[in-house]
């Protein structure tokens, strides 16, 4: 019985850490940015990270495809739906899950 309880606590703590990771990055839309051809200016940053060098900026097209770049020249590509949730991939194969602010 103790092993069952310990396993249950382990799996609950593991699942809560997985859901916390999913909300690490946030996307904001620039309402004053140019919107040529249905694209919008967006910015992505880590939650609670206000360093301008760590922010990715780019455009989201009308079909949801995204291409963003930071100050170091790293590129992120992926898709974001109309609600602001999506998945982006960098040059090294890392996956970033994003959500609106």
pLDDT reading at 16 higher than 60:
no
Q: What is the pLDDT of residue 69?
A: 92
Residues 6+ apart with CB under 8 A from 24: 46, 47, 97
Mean pLDDT for the chain overall: 77
Q: What average pLDDT does the segment 28-36 reach?
A: 70
Reported as a single tens digit per residue, the pLDDT across 60-96 is: 888 889 899 989 889 989 998 878 788 889 888 888 8
Among 27, 34, 30, 16, which residue's Cα sits nearest to residue 78? 27
- What residue segments make up the domains of the chain, in order of their start? 25-100
pTM for the whole structure: 0.64
């Amino acid at each position: 019985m103790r092993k069952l309880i310990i396993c249950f606590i382990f799996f609950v703590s593991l699942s809560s850490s997985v859901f916390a990771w999913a909300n690490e990055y946030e996307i904001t839309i620039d309402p004053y940015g140019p919107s040529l051809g249905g694209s919008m200016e967006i910015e992505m940053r880590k939650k609670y990270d206000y360093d301008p060098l760590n922010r990715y900026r780019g455009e989201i097209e009308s079909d949801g495809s995204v291409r963003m770049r930071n100050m170091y020249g790293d590129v992120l590509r992926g898709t974001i739906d109309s609600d602001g949730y999506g998945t982006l991939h960098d040059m090294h194969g890392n996956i970033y899950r994003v959500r609106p602010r």
